[in-house]
Structure 1
């Protein structure tokens, strides 16, 4: 396979169901749909932790969260574990980031020659209240979600516009360049991450009376599980949605932000075309996690349901089958070997044990069926959650709680927990054994709590954290 340049685009909180190429009935994503039409869409992609900081740390390092121990939004990646950017630099490739990284600091060596308009965690420490997982207290910041939802301007949309402007200029500057080793550009956009505020020109694409209400939203439809019940107390977003109008307004705003995201991706694709780089550049699009978007009465992310843990993943460019859909489960740790494969960088000897596989091999059926992992140890989780995908089966182990087992082939909305069904006892045992072959979830749960306890102590204890100002989300950088 001939090495090419690599453009990696990441959004934030994009539910893969909200994509025209995935069959959504009303969303308008013509540029992403065109990317899928000229490339391959991975229908069963997932993040490795359904919250920003640990998900992005896994994406950068190609390792599972329990391997790198960046557990939550108060324990950010600091460059100490080699990233795909570091490996590209070591092999002599240019590598640049533009936009959100959500690492500790631009002062760290994060593996980029240049960080343009970077967003990192607040003050280099992140959201310290996320460490207090046993403190089941409602977060008042979550009530802003419903109150703010609707048409309007937001700092995130302004930031994304500046990120796209900078990326377009970066691509233009490479027009006509030939020779030398291929470059990699990482463009990381924030939308459709909440606040659910969408510019009117995109919001108005979705009349409020025409947007669908969330699935499984009725009180008698919502699943009950101790992990989810505790999450509802901490992340009490839904308490603010006291009318159908507010719900529809929020969904219309999310749809509008997805279309705004698609608009910016279209600008990037046109820049590649106009610079004469389309035939020498592969493109990978994904997101750091999904968004529940009201399904089951849940908003945001932070659980193992598909709306939260699944992500869109599309690849296009030279040697990538056009109009193809790959149903093999994949996760964001697969990006590390994929990016190196795309640009022709050799595997580093220290990376032989990475859990991911090159997506070029996966899409061609050159890998054996794999078990893939996601885990969650962050805000609202009173215990650790570990999800294993094996084909269409999805097994979720909660430390100290009853597990869940779903067959996504016949139950894509995860309404039937098969874990206690005697007819599914064999598959449940197999999935649990496969999970324990990757890690001991109970040992890793204890390790996460121990690391977080040490961090709590280091920042002055629980009361010092409770005294800290609460942030519902990381502010866009003022320098942007």
Structure 2
């Protein structure tokens, strides 16, 4: 592996940060000076993806270094990670490395669960150890999510439970770093700081919200109803998770955009404070930094808000690695995934355990050692009636559904995904080859995998009293941080 000397690793993860919402990624107006500075002294991976564009499955795959179909579990927000599949946290702790988490984990979090960390500080787990049970209802009877209307209502200047929680996470991280500098460690450590912004509610502190007035944010791409894609998977999601149905005018749309981008800048501010504490404590010279997010956000593009689809805004993630052994001021277009974090963490601190198959160190990839690789993402959660599988291979993105028509995009020629080439005679050979590569990667037919996922979801639904009991439990727009009561709809 190419990491070089064994060093500490500071891993900062945000929640729902679109890969396009970065100054260093060329965004025309978003302000992210601290992440831009991190990218300037490291490598930014321009084709980075989440294993699943929704929180709980993404975080399970991040922890284990394995894709969902390979684990046969953790498919949706009602199937949280329980520590039963080995994580990089387990690997580091068992090798004598201190590995501490601060902030959101979104695991099951029941008494007796061992997620592998040496310590979990102010962790946020799924509600009641069960999470979003409504996500288990995926057939034609799936009810529209009642909590979706809250997104537009909450958008504006102010503070929310999430901004307050992130301030607490940021403070705890600064304290940990400054205290750790006083305690020499026998082995390199890993600190995992997991922030919750820019995940909705779209309530941004005023100093950040007002950076983005209407004349700055404009309107999302393909937002007019006549411009929106008509793919049935997208229609399913928009109908079951109807965020945009409550958006009545342009002013509301722009207020929601200002809330999101304001939260991006707020999150960047917290990252800056943590990185400053790292340097001021004297630990910077012996600590590498990795930044990413669990998934992206549509931010109104195509009339969609939140995540859950396979467009770049939602399935892509920012990924930046900086420190010893990493090319400075560089970009890397090789496809990577959050599952690669497992190998990267082990490589950084010098843990000799072999990573899971398919997890490759970002240090190696940044040096061009695995340039021909491909990555996948999959979705089985709320808003979907059937599974979606995404394959990124070089310039191509191929999205395969069970019965719905596939999608195909040439991201080199069409980075905004304005032209779906599936079924285009000129792209027939490419589409056929990508289908073969996807089958090879998955190991089974998508219909077989989809049936297995739905069987597991039916078991979890039955164990929780069935459809009527889950409906009576209610809808939860987002998980509350520690000490905050759930606000059911």
Deviation at 1:214, TM superposition (A): 0.3
- Partner secondary structure for residue 180 of structure 2: coil
Equivalent position of 1:103 in the other structure? 107
Name the CA distance, whole Å, in 2 between partners of 1:75 and 1:136: 18
Partner deviation per Cα, 1:262-317 (whole Å, 9 max, x = no partner): 10000011101111111100000000000000000000000101111000000111
Equivalent position of 1:167 in the other structure? 173
Equivalent position of 1:180 in the other structure? 186
- Partner secondary structure for residue 291 of structure 2: strand
Select 1:142's aligned residue among 134, 137, 148.
148
Equivalent position of 2:124 in the other structure? 119
Matches within 5 A, 1:383-422: 383-422=386-425
- Partner secondary structure for residue 257 of structure 2: helix
Name the CA distance, whole Å, in 1 between partners of 2:235 and 2:447: 21
Name the CA distance, whole Å, in 1 between partners of 2:248 and 2:212: 21
Matches within 5 A, 1:32-111: 32-68=35-71, 69-105=73-109, 107=111, 108-111=113-116
Name the CA distance, whole Å, in 2 between partners of 1:111 and 1:192: 26
- Partner secondary structure for residue 222 of structure 1: coil
Matches within 5 A, 1:303-452: 303-348=309-354, 351=355, 353-439=356-442, 440=444, 441-452=446-457
Name stretches of at least 5 consecutive residues in structure 2 with no aligned partner: none
Name the CA distance, whole Å, in 2 between partners of 1:77 and 1:138: 26
Deviation at 1:246, TM superposition (A): 0.5
Name the CA distance, whole Å, in 1 between partners of 2:372 and 2:353: 22
Deviation at 1:179, TM superposition (A): 5.2
Deviation at 1:368, TM superposition (A): 4.3
Name the CA distance, whole Å, in 1 between partners of 2:70 and 2:85: 10
Deviation at 1:320, TM superposition (A): 0.9
Partner deviation per Cα, 1:328-371 (whole Å, 9 max, x = no partner): 110100000000000000124xx4x5222100011101114111
1:454 aligns with 2:489: no
Equivalent position of 2:278 in the other structure? 272
Deviation at 1:210, TM superposition (A): 2.0
Deviation at 1:212, TM superposition (A): 2.4
Scaled by the length of structure 2, the TM-score of the pair is 0.96
Equivalent position of 1:251 in the other structure? 257
Deviation at 1:140, TM superposition (A): 1.7
- Partner secondary structure for residue 467 of structure 1: helix
CA RMSD of aligned residues (A): 1.2
Select 2:227's aligned residue among 199, 216, 221.
221
1:239 aligns with 2:242: no
Name the CA distance, whole Å, in 2 between partners of 1:409 and 1:243: 34
Partner deviation per Cα, 1:119-143 (whole Å, 9 max, x = no partner): 0000100010000011332212101
Name stretches of at least 5 consecutive residues in structure 1 with no aligned partner: none
- Partner secondary structure for residue 192 of structure 2: strand
Deviation at 1:3, TM superposition (A): 0.5
Equivalent position of 1:293 in the other structure? 299
Q: Give yes or no for contact 1:136–1:233 (8 Å, CA) kept in 2.
A: no
Q: Give yes or no for contact 2:157–2:209 (8 Å, CA) kept in 1.
A: yes
Deviation at 1:174, TM superposition (A): 1.6
Deviation at 1:177, TM superposition (A): 4.6
Name the CA distance, whole Å, in 2 between partners of 1:411 and 1:223: 15
1:192 aligns with 2:195: no
Name the CA distance, whole Å, in 2 between partners of 1:141 and 1:398: 27
Select 1:151's aligned residue among 154, 157, 172.
157
Equivalent residues, number:
477
Equivalent position of 2:31 in the other structure? 28
- Partner secondary structure for residue 473 of structure 2: coil
Select 1:212's aligned residue among 218, 229, 243.
218
Deviates more, 1:27-36 or 1:138-147: 138-147
Name the CA distance, whole Å, in 1 between partners of 2:21 and 2:397: 21
Name the CA distance, whole Å, in 1 between partners of 2:118 and 2:236: 43
